[in-house]
């Protein structure tokens, strides 16, 4: 039985005693459940979070000197910065062959915009066979393991809100052919969700706090606390290929990127990123910048228009390098963050050992229990605040962090929304376009309309090709594809 009075006093001290509003009517099991959740609250930080982030909207402090980033161009022959892509690609392949690389998919988000009933990784994403996102990544890993003769471990981060269905999904589908012992799951932490008027923590049920996963930045702590980092060290893994669950075009294992991250002179091997040239100054992608000599991402909403629109002598946007949330992260870097006192930045944020990532606020519609009636309220307008940390806020903690340019169609087909921008629909069109380009590069004629859009539906399995070059010597390719045809390769 919990010491209810001690708990009540603790809550009163931070203005949260309403969390025990329904205590009297709960049975012992439900009381224990609620008390355990309350005990997990970070009471020492709570008042500051509420004051700075919930009751007030924190102002973004623009750094004094922001410089454009430097990156490795997609074309290694680009005179802007030529480099030996063959050498770095070979270095990356060696690391994969030696078992030094793991894949890591952050899949703990709530996916509210897509509104899919289940973990986002279970969403049927491909144009014809409707493969779930998790399968697309697993097949890439399977094919990569086959190519480089080494099974590549996959770590999947879930949250307490979607852990069970995620694990079950993989188990039911027999890990999509990956060795069972090479697929690991762990849960990220959660933060309480707040009422934005009063700063009170919301109740999801009479015996349950409303919580949200603590953001993809929570992965840097969860990787360590869950034992995943220890497991990687035991396996000899040194580098983590970080991907998000919503982009079926991500190259889960990209030897060139891994090689640059691990071996380029200007990389500390701590955390590297891929970037896309933005379509315009206001495209909603985070902007790579350099601040005090360190790679930093400033959110599109925080970059002043005047900077966003600046152009260089070639007429290109000075701050036109957009982030697509693909990173390579050093195992040692994560260990250092979690074990070294004060290796971090803003103290008010959330981290592991000594590091703390800044918090970001999002206003959301959060269903909750009405404290007077006890009934569940489904708000029509945002009523609550969710606090999260972002993984890219770890970039300025690196000594030297490199960026590799990639191509939009090749690597960016995110599924965030049901329709419109970054949706299931736009992703499907991009998947077909990429498949058509790969086939054309292999000499196959594909049908296109006046707008140059492919008029067939084509899907290429990762088991058939991981990149365009894999089709060059493929047998059984058709000479041409008819308009309206459905082709699975």
Residues that bind ligand UTP (CB under 6 A): 106-113, 120, 157, 188, 213-216, 218, 244-246, 388, 416
Name 466's Cβ contacts closer than 8 Å, sequence gap at least 6: 140, 143, 144, 147, 251
User: For residues 161 and 474, which CB has a smaller minimum distance to ligand UTP in the complex?
Assistant: 161
How many whole angstroms separate alpha carbon 205 and alpha carbon 368? 7
Query: Cα-Cα-Cα-Cα dihedral of 60, 63, 64, 70, to 10°?
Result: -140
Main-chain phi, psi angles of 243, to 5 degrees: -130, 155
**Smallest distance from the beta carbon of 391 to ligand UTP, in angstroms?**
8
Decide if 285 contacts 324 (C-beta within 8 A): yes
User: For residues 139 and 422, which CB has a smaller minimum distance to ligand UTP in the complex?
Assistant: 422
| Three-class SS state of 50 | helix
User: For residues 92 and 218, which CB has a smaller minimum distance to ligand UTP in the complex?
Assistant: 218
Decide if 232 contacts 239 (C-beta within 8 A): no
**Smallest distance from the beta carbon of 241 to ligand UTP, in angstroms?**
14
How many residues does this entry show for the chain? 489
User: For residues 88 and 242, which CB has a smaller minimum distance to ligand UTP in the complex?
Assistant: 242
**Smallest distance from the beta carbon of 300 to ligand UTP, in angstroms?**
13
Closest residue to ligand UTP in the complex (CB): 109
How many whole angstroms separate alpha carbon 9 and alpha carbon 3? 10
**Smallest distance from the beta carbon of 139 to ligand UTP, in angstroms?**
18
Select from 250, 254, 224, 242 the least CA-distant residue to 95: 254
Per-residue tokens: 63? 């750094």
**Smallest distance from the beta carbon of 468 to ligand UTP, in angstroms?**
26
Name 131's Cβ contacts closer than 8 Å, sequence gap at least 6: 124, 125, 139
Angle, helices 255-263 vs 85-97, to 10°: value is: 100
Segment holding 178, helix H or strand E: none
User: For residues 108 and 269, which CB has a smaller minimum distance to ligand UTP in the complex?
Assistant: 108
User: For residues 161 and 409, which CB has a smaller minimum distance to ligand UTP in the complex?
Assistant: 161
**Smallest distance from the beta carbon of 396 to ligand UTP, in angstroms?**
20
**Smallest distance from the beta carbon of 370 to ligand UTP, in angstroms?**
24
**Smallest distance from the beta carbon of 390 to ligand UTP, in angstroms?**
8
| Three-class SS state of 342 | coil
Gyration radius of the chain's alpha carbons: 24
**Smallest distance from the beta carbon of 159 to ligand UTP, in angstroms?**
6
What is the number of alpha carbons within 13 Å of residue 346 lying toward its C-beta? 17
Other Cβ atoms closer than 10 A to 268: 16
- DSSP of 146-171: HHHTS---EEEEE-TTTHHHHHHHHH
**Smallest distance from the beta carbon of 221 to ligand UTP, in angstroms?**
12
User: For residues 335 and 416, which CB has a smaller minimum distance to ligand UTP in the complex?
Assistant: 416
Percentages helix, strand, coil for the chain (3-state, rounded to 5) are 35, 20, 45
What sign for the dihedral angle of Cα 271, 274, 280, 284? negative
**Smallest distance from the beta carbon of 141 to ligand UTP, in angstroms?**
16
How many whole angstroms separate alpha carbon 391 and alpha carbon 389? 7
User: For residues 264 and 413, which CB has a smaller minimum distance to ligand UTP in the complex?
Assistant: 413
Per-residue tokens: 303? 């970059």
User: For residues 245 and 289, which CB has a smaller minimum distance to ligand UTP in the complex?
Assistant: 245
User: For residues 68 and 109, which CB has a smaller minimum distance to ligand UTP in the complex?
Assistant: 109
User: For residues 31 and 120, which CB has a smaller minimum distance to ligand UTP in the complex?
Assistant: 120
User: For residues 78 and 112, which CB has a smaller minimum distance to ligand UTP in the complex?
Assistant: 112
How many whole angstroms separate alpha carbon 367 and alpha carbon 210? 8
**Smallest distance from the beta carbon of 120 to ligand UTP, in angstroms?**
6
């Amino acid at each position: 039985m919990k010491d209810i009075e001690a708990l009540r006093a603790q809550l009163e001290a931070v203005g949260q005693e309403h969390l025990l509003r329904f205590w009297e009517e709960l049975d012992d099991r439900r009381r224990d459940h609620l008390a355990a959740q309350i005990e997990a609250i970070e009471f020492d930080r709570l008042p500051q979070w509420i004051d700075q982030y919930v009751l007030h909207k924190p102002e973004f402090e623009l750094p004094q000197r922001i410089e454009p980033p430097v990156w490795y161009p997609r074309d290694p022959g680009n005179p802007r910065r030529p480099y030996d892509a063959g050498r770095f690609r070979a270095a990356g392949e060696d690391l994969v062959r030696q078992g030094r690389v793991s894949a890591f998919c952050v899949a703990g988000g709530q996916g509210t915009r897509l509104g899919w009933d289940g973990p986002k990784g279970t969403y049927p994403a491909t144009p014809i066979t409707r493969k779930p996102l998790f399968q697309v990544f697993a097949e890439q890993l399977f094919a990569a393991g086959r190519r480089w003769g080494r099974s590549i471990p996959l770590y999947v981060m879930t949250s307490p809100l979607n852990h069970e269905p995620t694990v079950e999904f993989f188990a039911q589908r027999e890990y999509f052919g990956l060795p069972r012992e090479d697929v690991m799951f762990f849960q990220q932490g959660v933060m309480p969700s707040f009422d934005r008027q009063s700063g009170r923590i919301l109740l999801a049920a009479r015996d349950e706090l409303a919580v949200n996963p603590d953001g993809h930045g929570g992965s840097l702590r969860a990787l360590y606390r869950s034992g995943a980092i220890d497991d990687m060290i035991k396996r000899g893994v040194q580098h983590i290929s970080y991907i998000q669950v919503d982009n079926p075009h991500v190259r889960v294992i990209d030897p060139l990127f891994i090689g640059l991250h691990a071996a380029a002179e200007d990389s500390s091997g701590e955390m590297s990123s891929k970037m896309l040239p933005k379509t315009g100054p206001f495209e909603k992608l985070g902007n790579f910048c350099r601040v005090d000599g360190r790679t930093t991402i400033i959110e599109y909403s925080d970059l002043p228009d005047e900077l966003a629109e600046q152009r260089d002598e070639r007429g290109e946007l000075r701050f036109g390098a957009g982030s697509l949330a693909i990173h390579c992260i050093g195992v040692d870097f994560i260990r250092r963050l979690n074990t070294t006192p004060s290796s971090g930045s803003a103290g008010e944020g959330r981290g592991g050992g000594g590091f703390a990532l800044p918090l970001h606020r999002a206003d959301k519609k959060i269903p909750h229990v009405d404290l007077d009636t006890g009934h569940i309220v489904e708000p029509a307008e945002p009523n609550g605040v969710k606090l999260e940390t972002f993984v890219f806020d770890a970039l300025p903690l690196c000594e030297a962090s490199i960026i590799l340019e990639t191509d939009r169609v090749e690597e960016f087909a995110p599924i965030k929304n049901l329709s419109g921008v970054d949706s299931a629909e736009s992703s499907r069109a991009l998947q077909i376009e990429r498949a058509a380009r790969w086939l054309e590069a292999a000499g196959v004629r594909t049908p296109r309309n006046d707008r140059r859009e492919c008029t067939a539906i084509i899907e290429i399995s990762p088991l058939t090709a991981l990149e365009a070059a894999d089709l060059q010597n493929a047998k059984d390719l058709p000479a041409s594809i008819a308009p309206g045809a459905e082709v699975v390769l």
